[in-house]
Amino acid sequence: MKIRESEKLILVMLAEIQEKLKIGESDPAFIQEAICSGNTWSLYWKYPGIFPDPEEEDPAVVLEVVEYLEMWSFIEQAFQELDGPTQTEIKEDKGLMSPVFHGFDGNNECDHMSVARVMIEHLERFPEFAGRDLNSHCPMLPRYQKMLGIFQPIRETLAGVRRLSPDQLKTLLAY
């Protein structure tokens, strides 16, 4: 959604009025956040009835973050379903990454972190990551990109199963 600077001011002011008067069905705090953070794509996701035919495609970073969040959802679910000894083995293996979504680097991957925050906190997608600090404090994209390259072919084999095997999990966490 392309919004001119003057329109942003008007929309933020209208959202403030709506919030103050406690009227309307939309979430004025969310609207303000979407506009001020540059995540106007999220308005389509939150209010599909208002925007049945979006004017433009989601930005590439949005699609990329969704892929990473889906991958980490599979990873964390598979780890939680492992027996205790296998979990301990994975946790103690120094060659494996921790089986917990670390977020993105707040200094160098801020667009990714912002999209993830909107997805998780405001759009309530991927609730398993809610309440977490999404700032990894170190670059994660190179690692996530490698992991995703391995995960995508595996995902095709998970239809109906939706669980990674311990070996698949270890392969992904080795990056």
Once rounded to an integer, what is the mean pLDDT over residues 134-160? 95
Percent of the chain with pLDDT over 90: 88
Nearest to 72 by CA among 160, 7, 169: 169
Whole-angstrom Cα distance, residue 30 to residue 162? Answer: 32
Q: Residue 47: is its pLDDT beyond 90?
A: yes
Cβ–Cβ under 8 Å, residues 169 and 77? no
Q: What is the mean pLDDT of the chain?
A: 94
Q: What pLDDT was estimated at residue 101?
A: 98
Greater model confidence, 160 or 150:
150
The domain defined by 60-173 folds into yfbu gene product, domain 2 (1.10.3190)
Nearest to 123 by CA among 46, 40, 28, 27: 46
The two structure tokens encoding residue 67 = 């892929």
Cβ–Cβ under 8 Å, residues 172 and 164? yes
Q: What pLDDT was estimated at residue 63?
A: 97
pTM: 0.91
User: At 39, is the pLDDT very low, low, confident or very high (cuts 50, 70, 90)?
Assistant: very high
Q: What pLDDT was estimated at residue 16?
A: 96
Sequence-ordered list of residues with C-beta below 8 angstroms from that of 105, at least 6 positions apart, any chain: 113, 135, 136, 137, 138, 139, 140, 141
Once rounded to an integer, what is the mean pLDDT over residues 30-55? 91
Sequence-ordered list of residues with C-beta below 8 angstroms from that of 38, at least 6 positions apart, any chain: 114
Question: How do the domains of the chain map onto residue ranges?
Answer: 5-46, 60-173
For 135, the 3-state DSSP assignment is strand
Backbone φ and ψ of 52, nearest 5°: -65, -30
Q: What pLDDT was estimated at residue 159?
A: 79
Once rounded to an integer, what is the mean pLDDT over residues 88-110? 96
Whole-angstrom Cα distance, residue 90 to residue 86? Answer: 6
Q: Residue 161: is its pLDDT beyond 80?
A: no
- What are 62-95's pLDDT values in tens digits? 999 999 999 999 999 999 999 999 999 999 999 9
Backbone φ and ψ of 156, nearest 5°: -60, -25
47 φψ region: left (φ > 0), alpha (ψ -120 to 50), beta (else): beta
User: At 111, is the pLDDT very low, low, confident or very high (cuts 50, 70, 90)?
Assistant: very high
Q: What pLDDT was estimated at residue 2?
A: 81
Q: What pLDDT was estimated at residue 97?
A: 94
Cβ–Cβ under 8 Å, residues 66 and 129? no
Q: What pLDDT was estimated at residue 52?
A: 80
